[in-house]
Structure 1
Amino acid sequence: MQSLPDIRFEHFEDLWEQRKLEDEFEKVNERNDGTFNREHWISVAKMYFQDPEKVQSNNIDSRTYVMREGDIAFEGHPNSNFKFGRFVANDIGPGVVSELFPIYRHITDYDNNYWKNAIQLETIMAPIFAKSITSSGNSSNKLDVSHFLRQKINVPDIKEQVKLGHFFKQFDETITLQEKELEKLKKLKKAFLQKMFI
């Protein structure tokens, strides 16, 4: 089955192909062989390297999975934005994560900037999760691997992925720049108020 998105960049006319997730990803359980230490501990939720001084695990070799750039990890805590939890793509480089986070790796050509956005779109992923989640009895959902990988998703070819990914990256950079400018204005306002009300 193929489909067309409502909005396209110029010169892209091919249909998007509906593929099973198992044709795009495989689950990996790559253990740390000592290559990665506390400086490489990844916080999955916000995707950054944690301060090594704050890493508490004593099992960085045996109780962690290696997460490489481009891999996606399932973070199963539901919230107001993500009903079942969400996937987070690694765009910071290789490191290790707690074994509580299942890791999936691309097996086809891909653009990471495209996928990091697509896999967090609730209209795409919530119906997939609804068919794949198993209750864990606590606040974190878990994925049934076989059910998840059998679900289908519409995928553009690699050239369109790259074009879309570049657009998303530029958009994110613009947002970050605006947020920094906003923080500067907030600090300026605070300094101004402090001088006004002496």
Structure 2
Amino acid sequence: MVNIIPYAQNEHKARLLKQLKQAYLQQIFSQELRFTVFSDDWRERPLVEMVDRVSESSAVELPRVEFEDLIPGMGRLNKDITKSDDIRSGIHFVDGDILYGKLRPYLKNWLHATFEGIALGDFWVLRTKEILESSFLYALIQARKYQQVANLSSGTKMPRSDWKTVSTTEFSIPEKVEQQKIGSFFKQLDNLITLNQQKLDLLKKQKQAYLQKMFI
């Protein structure tokens, strides 16, 4: 008989980890929770002062990312995009840039790039200025305030985030050392969520294989 306990346990763990991340995003960005070594006040700045919206179009031979390549809300790819023969032009991004899906922003299509590539479709490519850490920005775009502003979208059937609204909204940020600490914390948490999800995916495949053998 197939033991389904590991699958159920990991499914429960995956759900709890995602809930924990949301709780930390809320508490840290509302400053209810801070690392003990930091006490300086956070400062409010409009997003446009902290990031550049990259718009350089390119058709060079690089990996291409579009919505269908991303796992919504997870910030990771669902396939090996280096094997694609796609030659369409799009926005050129580099390691460290943030891709944010402005079309139907509630779908949560985003990626913290760790490679150079081309963004296809309705992405904003955000590049941090000197005062902002990209890892912190990546956490910020997932936090409640940014999500609320980004979802003040125009259109009904094909709603899109409004850059003027988002870019002029002020967000609170700490000094760079604290930004680095926060960014590193959420990166570690994301890695833990990813590892657990990969284990869950493997268990799911095993479960399906067992069921297929049992009912042949």
Give TM-score scaled by structure 2 length.
Answer: 0.67
SS at match of 2:119: strand
- The 2-side partners of 1:179 and 1:51 are apart by 22
Report the equivalent of 1:31: 57
Provide, for residues 104-161 of structure 1, a one-character-per-residue CA deviation record: whole Å limited to 9, x for no partner: 321224333322121022x211443366x443x641414243x432210011211111
- The 2-side partners of 1:76 and 1:189 are apart by 36
Report the equivalent of 2:158: 139
Shift in alpha-carbon separation, 1:56–1:68, aligned structure 2, 3 A: closer
SS at match of 1:15: coil
Shift in alpha-carbon separation, 1:71–1:183, aligned structure 2, 3 A: closer
Higher helix content, 1 or 2: 2
Amino acid at match of 1:40: P
Query: Contact between 1:18 and 1:153, CA under 8 Å: does it hold in 2?
Result: yes
Report the equivalent of 1:155: 173
Equivalent pairs: percent with the same residue?
A: 23
Query: Contact between 2:95 and 2:113, CA under 8 Å: does it hold in 1?
Result: yes
Superposition deviation, residue 69 in structure 1: 2.5
The number of aligned residues is: 180
In structure 2, the gaps of 5 or more residues are 1-28, 71-75
Report the equivalent of 2:150: 129
CA RMSD of aligned residues (A): 3.1
Relative contact order higher in (CA < 8 Å, ≥ 6 apart): 2
Provide, for residues 22-49 of structure 1, a one-character-per-residue CA deviation record: whole Å limited to 9, x for no partner: 21012222132x6x31x42122562546
Give TM-score scaled by structure 1 length.
Answer: 0.72
- The 2-side partners of 1:120 and 1:92 are apart by 18
Superposition deviation, residue 99 in structure 1: 5.9
Q: Which moved more, 1:185-194 or 1:93-102?
A: 185-194
Amino acid at match of 2:195: L
SS at match of 1:92: coil
In structure 1, the gaps of 5 or more residues are none
